[in-house]
Structures are given as structure tokens and as C-alpha cells.
A and B are shown apart, each in its own frame.
Chain A
Amino acid sequence: AQKITQTQPGMFVQEKEAVTLDCTYDTSDPSYGLFWYKQPSSGEMIFLIYQGSYDQQNATEGRYSLNFQKARKSANLVISASQLGDSAMYFCAMRASTAAGSYQLTFGKGTKLSVIP
């Protein structure tokens, strides 16, 4: 079974500073994908960044980067130069195969990020 752990229920960061949101995962499957989603107060789930289990380099997308440490089973999200619009819930998720041949996402509980002006 897959499991995602996000140990920070809430985080505060000063505007323009960088922040790291923690995520650890557990799976016995050698092939998996790691995703981060952002959920603003409006409710939609916005895909941010993806890291494959066999990717050698850390993924980056604009101000988002994923600090992937495979041996530690961690996939922390780093947001550089925080903006007020970054205030939202952030979910770490893992996609791995299931017995039914599907690739369902397993989510963590989320981290609520608040950016302070």
C-alpha cells in the first residue's frame, strides 16, 4: 500500500522568502510518480510539478522545485520568492500501480501555507 505523509499542517512564510513543504512517501513499488497540487481557497486543485521515480534530476517549474531524495523517500516542494497568491493548501501525492491495473493517486493530508506581506 502507498502512503504519503505531510507533517506540517500549517506554515507561514514572509513574502519574497523561500519555503520548503515537506513530504515523505512509502511504497514497495519501484516505479512511481510524485506530484504536488495547490488548492487555493476557491477550491480548484492545480497541478504544480511532477517527479518520476527514475528521474535523475530534481524537477523544476518556474518558482517551484522538487527536492527529491529517493533513499530518504522524500519529495519536498520548494517555493522560491513567495508571493501572496501562493497562500493555499498544498498536497503531495504519489501515483503507483494498483492490483486493478490502475494508477491511482494517493494524497497526503496537506499543508496550509500562509504568505505574510
Chain B
Amino acid sequence: EAGVTQFPSHSVIEKGQTVTLRCDPISGHDNLYWYRRVMGKEIKFLLHFVKESKQDESGMPNNRFLAERTGGTYSTLKVQPAELEDSGVYFCASSQVGGLNSPLHFGNGTRLTVT
């Protein structure tokens, strides 16, 4: 079974540019999550999809971030325009069910550097 895959693994962009991160969850996993870790801080929740619907987007920092999951398969996270404080590692995770005891399976993350 293929794990959660994220693309690209690294991205370096200039302030003001746009970047789109992609996540392919484990096949059959309806629940898809985005998290991010800014340097020196905790890993923070961004949002949660159930199939194509946004279940919880309370962690999205501002309207420069747009997440989509058309068709309930892969998801994209777009940052437009990027700011310096957006630098960090963006993780995607998926789970088959969304309950308390269901572990999240994480991808390797995308390291975003905004210069």
C-alpha cells in the first residue's frame, strides 16, 4: 500500500510569489489533513477534509491560504502571495476514519522557504 505522498519535497520561492503544494492520501482514506511546522514551533493543524468537504478549517492562518480537494482524492494547498513567515514544513496526513483512536498517516512533508 502506497503511503501519503507530497510534492514537491522542497520549494524555494520569493516573497509575493505563489506556490501550490500537492498531497496524495492513502487510497481509500476519506480524511485528509494539512499541518505545518514553522521553525522552532509546534506542528500546527491547518485544516481537515472529509472527502471533498472542509470539515474544519479553523487552523488556516489567513486568506492567503487556499486548500482544495476536488473529487475527494488528492488535495492542493496554495499560498498566494507568499510571505516570509510562511516558511516551514507543510505536512499532509490521511486516515480512513476520523475518530479519536485513528492514527494519522503522514507524508514526508514539503519544506517551503520564502526569501
B45–A109 CB distance below 8 A: no
| Residue tally, chain A, CB below 8 Å to B | 32
Chain B, interface size category, equals: 20 to 34
CA distance A33 to B95 in the complex (A): 14
- Cross-interface CB contact of B104 among A32, A53, A105, cutoff 8 Å: A105
Q: Are A50 and B103 in contact (CB under 8 A)?
A: yes
Known: A37-B106, A44-B106, A44-B108. A103 touches B99 (CB 8 A): yes
Of B17-25, B51-59, B63-71, B78-86, the one touching chain A: B51-59
* Contacts of B15-63 to chain A: CB distance below 8 A: 33, 35, 41-45, 48, 55-56, 58-59
Q: Which residues of A contact B (CB under 8 A)?
A: 4, 31-33, 35, 37, 42-47, 50, 52-53, 91, 95-110
A-B contact pairs, 7 of them (CB 8 A): A35-B104, A42-B108, A43-B89, A98-B58, A102-B98, A104-B59, A107-B44
